[in-house]
């Protein structure tokens, strides 16, 4: 099932316009379409507002132009940039998926502050209570992440770059993340609302996603333990997001750091992919199949072919996605250093179980067992096996992964709706395991509990 690209989205953005490593300048909008009378009128109004902005800047030079983003290091000016908010729609079919693939053009208000709710550095200070410890929600490679509430009531996550960010790489990763995020908009990708820079402070304001990371859900820190259907929905969301990056942005974007801690979960247990610090723009041109680059990514998720050859392609994300699928099905970290040698690499262990016809033994103890869930688990592992292929040519595209996952979800729903004969409750086909079992125990001696759908 091939999906034609969204006809309204055909940006032809030259890489030279926004090379993330060399030129940190937000590009002009790549979003092109025929202009209606209304949009001409809008443009005229915008022009007028630009004239007003120039007039304002003359009166108030502290309002730096958008094009100075990232270039006023050390000066006490404030620079801001953000993208429009748009209504999110849930995507469950290919056509809906397509319609959600759009890039919003960045809009600039007269005062140089833009976005869904205009905010200044002062408002960010207010929103986070002067970056108070009570609002800290996480710590990452770039610095501390705060929860904030803007004056219009919307919740945001504020990523505050470490002040002594003299590590050139971290700063360029930070800028890379801002730049990449500013290019894209998708239901399953964390939205960038804006970037502010004042003096040595740099903050990135992004959509707040309220329910922790996938890693926390899988490894028992957050939530009750996800059921198989919820895991499938999350896998589909992630696959949609990566498909979008690979297929519907031009030039394509390789995420480079797909892992469970970079996937944020909302209250409805749907996923948004975050952390574009390592994202890399693929070369333009159909014959460009890979990019030679420094190794980036996270242990356990890294494509071995990329490690060997230093050549990055979209299929490196596919490999990491394969590792993620295994993690989601087994509930184990990709590397489990405390386990016996044969179980230390979760991918190797689970793939061996699949090969031996014992895939159910690699199923997360938190997932309820029934014929439908056991089958879905096995099918996901089979897809993971393809994603983990040794060569990039042997791995499926992310779009193919979406299709396969849709098929598995459909079958799961159909199977789950068929009432189980009582005999199944005591079936020897499905080993039972006590849900209280330690996730760190070895599989030998584990007792499984079989539960009907």
Ligand X SMILES: Nc1ncnc2c1ncn2[C@@H]1O[C@H](COP(=O)(O)OP(=O)(O)OP(=O)(O)O)[C@@H](O)[C@H]1O
End-to-end CA distance of the chain: 30
When the beta carbons of 141 and 199 are compared against ligand X, the nearer one is: 141
Residue 173 dihedral angles phi and psi, to the nearest 5°:
-65, -40
What does the alpha-carbon distance between residue 82 and residue 207 come to, in Å, rounded to a whole number?
12
Among 106, 128, 243, 261, binds ligand X (CB under 6 A): 261
How big is the site for ligand X, counted in residues (CB under 6 A)? Answer: 21
Q: Is 316 in the site for ligand X (CB under 6 A)?
A: no
As measured in angstroms, the least distance from the Cβ of 190 to ligand X is 5
Among 119, 193, 208, 301, binds ligand X (CB under 6 A): 208
- Longest Cα–Cα distance of the chain, Å, equals 81
127 touches ligand X by CB under 6 A: no
* Interaction of residue 262 with ligand X, rule CB under 6 A: yes
> Alpha carbon of 340 to those of 80, 329, 345, 445: distances in Å?
51, 20, 10, 15
Q: Which of 264, 273, 402, 412 binds ligand X (CB under 6 A)?
A: 264
Kind and range of the H or E run holding 408 = helix 398-417
Determine, following the binding rule CB under 6 A, whether residue 167 of this chain makes contact with ligand X. Answer: no
Question: Closest distance between ligand X and the C-beta of residue 143, in Å?
Answer: 7
Nearest CA among 91, 20, 13, 37 for reference residue 284: 13
Residues 276-315 that bind ligand X (CB under 6 A): 277
Q: Which of 237, 257, 275, 303 is catalytic?
A: 257
CA separation for the pair 252, 244 (Å, rounded): 9
Give the span between the Cα atoms of 93 and 401, in whole angstroms. Answer: 14
Binding mask 344-383 for ligand X (x = CB under 6 A): ----------------------------------------
Q: Dihedral of CA 339/345/347/349: which sign?
A: negative
Pairing of strands 192-198, 78-81: antiparallel
Of 210 and 442, the one with the shorter C-beta distance to ligand X is 210
Two tokens, residue 167: 């590590």
- Minimum CB separation from ligand X for residue 391, in Å? 27
CA atoms within 13 A on the CB side of 382: 12
Helix (H) or strand (E) holding 136: strand 136-139
Enter the tokens of residue 196. Answer: 């502010």
Residue number with CB closer to ligand X (136 or 420): 136
Q: How far is the CB of 278 from ligand X (least distance, A)?
A: 8
Select 152 or 358, whichever has its Cβ closest to ligand X: 152
CA 216, 222, 223, 227: dihedral to nearest 10 degrees?
10
Smallest distance, Å, CB 221 to ligand X? 10
Residue 228, C-beta contacts closer than 8 angstroms, at least 6 positions apart? 367, 368, 372, 373, 376, 377, 412
Whose Cβ is closer to ligand X: residue 264's or residue 372's? 264
274 in contact with ligand X (CB under 6 A): yes
Binds ligand X (CB under 6 A): choice among 159, 162, 202, 366: 159
Q: Identify the CA nearest to 327 among candidates 447, 453, 226.
A: 226
Whole-number Å distance between alpha carbons of 324 and 234: 11
Radius of gyration of the chain (CA): 24
Residue 237 is among the residues annotated as catalytic for this protein? no
Return the C-alpha torsion angle 380, 383, 388, 391, nearest 10: 180
Stretch of residues binding ligand X (CB under 6 A), selected from 88-96, 116-124, 258-266, 440-448 = 258-266
* Segment interacting with ligand X, rule: CB under 6 A, options 205-213, 289-297, 312-320, 398-406: 205-213
Nearer to ligand X, 258 or 453 (CB): 258
Q: Which residues pair with 255 in a beta bridge?
A: none
Q: Is 163 known to sit in a ligand binding site?
A: yes
Q: Do residues 146 and 137 lie in contact, with contact meaning Cβ atoms separated by under 8 Å?
A: yes
Binding range to ligand X, per CB under 6 A, among 68-76, 105-113, 204-212, 300-308: 204-212
- The interface with ligand X within residues 129-158 (CB under 6 A) comprises 137-142, 145, 157
Instruction: From residue 118, give the alpha-carbon distance in Å to each of 97, 154, 387.
Output: 29, 11, 42
Q: Is 188 or 373 the residue whose CB approaches ligand X more closely?
A: 188
Shortest distance, position 279 Cβ to ligand X, whole Å: 12
Give yes or no for residue 214 binding ligand X (CB under 6 A): no
* Distance in Å, CB of 155 to ligand X, minimum: 9
Q: Which residues are annotated as a binding site for ATP?
A: 163
Q: Annotated catalytic sites, by residue?
A: 257
Q: List interacting residues with ligand X (CB under 6 A).
A: 137-142, 145, 157, 159, 190, 206-209, 213, 261-262, 264, 274-275, 277
């Amino acid at each position: 099932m091939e999906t034609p690209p969204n006809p309204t989205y055909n940006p032809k953005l030259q890489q030279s316009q926004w090379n993330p490593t060399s030129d940190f300048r937000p590009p002009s909008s790549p979003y092109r379409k025929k202009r209606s009378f209304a949009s001409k009128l809008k443009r005229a109004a915008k022009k007028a507002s630009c004239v007003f902005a120039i007039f304002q800047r003359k009166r108030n030079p502290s309002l730096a132009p958008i094009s100075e983003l990232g270039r006023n290091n050390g000066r006490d000016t404030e620079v801001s940039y953000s993208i429009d908010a748009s209504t999110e729609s849930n995507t469950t079919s290919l056509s809906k998926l397509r319609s959600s693939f759009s890039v919003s053009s960045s809009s600039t208000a007269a005062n140089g502050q833009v976005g869904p709710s205009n905010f200044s550095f002062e408002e960010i200070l207010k929103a986070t209570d002067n970056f108070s410890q009570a609002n800290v929600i996480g710590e990452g490679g770039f610095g501390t992440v705060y929860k904030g509430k803007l004056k219009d009531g919307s919740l945001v996550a504020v990523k505050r770059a470490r002040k002594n960010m003299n590590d050139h790489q971290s700063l360029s990763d930070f800028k890379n993340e801002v730049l990449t995020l500013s290019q894209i908009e998708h239901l399953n990708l964390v939205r960038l609302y804006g970037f502010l820079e004042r003096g040595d402070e740099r903050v990135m304001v992004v959509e707040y996603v309220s329910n922790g990371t996938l890693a926390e859900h899988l490894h028992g820190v957050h939530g009750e333990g996800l059921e198989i259907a919820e895991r499938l929905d999350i896998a589909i969301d992630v696959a949609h997001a990566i498909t979008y990056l690979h297929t519907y942005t031009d030039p394509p974007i390789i995420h480079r750091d797909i892992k469970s801690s970079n996937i944020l979960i909302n209250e409805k247990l749907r996923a948004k992919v975050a952390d574009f610090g390592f994202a890399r723009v693929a070369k333009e041109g159909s014959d460009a199949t890979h990019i030679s680059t420094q190794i980036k990514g996270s242990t356990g998720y890294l494509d071995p072919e990329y490690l060997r050859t230093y050549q990055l392609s979209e299929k490196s994300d596919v490999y990491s996605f394969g590792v993620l699928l295994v993690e989601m099905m087994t509930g184990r970290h990709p590397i489990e250093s405390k386990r016996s040698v044969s179980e230390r690499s979760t991918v190797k262990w689970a793939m061996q179980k699949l090969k031996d016809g014992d895939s159910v033994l690699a199923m997360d103890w938190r997932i309820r067992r029934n014929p439908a869930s056991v089958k879905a688990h096995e099918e996901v592992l089979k897809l993971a096996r393809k994603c983990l292929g040794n060569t990039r040519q042997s791995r499926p595209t992310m779009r193919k992964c979406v299709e396969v996952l849709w098929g598995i979800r459909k079958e799961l729903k159909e199977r789950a709706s068929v009432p189980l004969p009582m005999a199944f409750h005591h079936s020897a086909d499905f080993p039972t395991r006590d849900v209280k079992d330690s996730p760190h125990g070895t599989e030998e001696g584990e007792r499984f509990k079989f539960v009907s759908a």
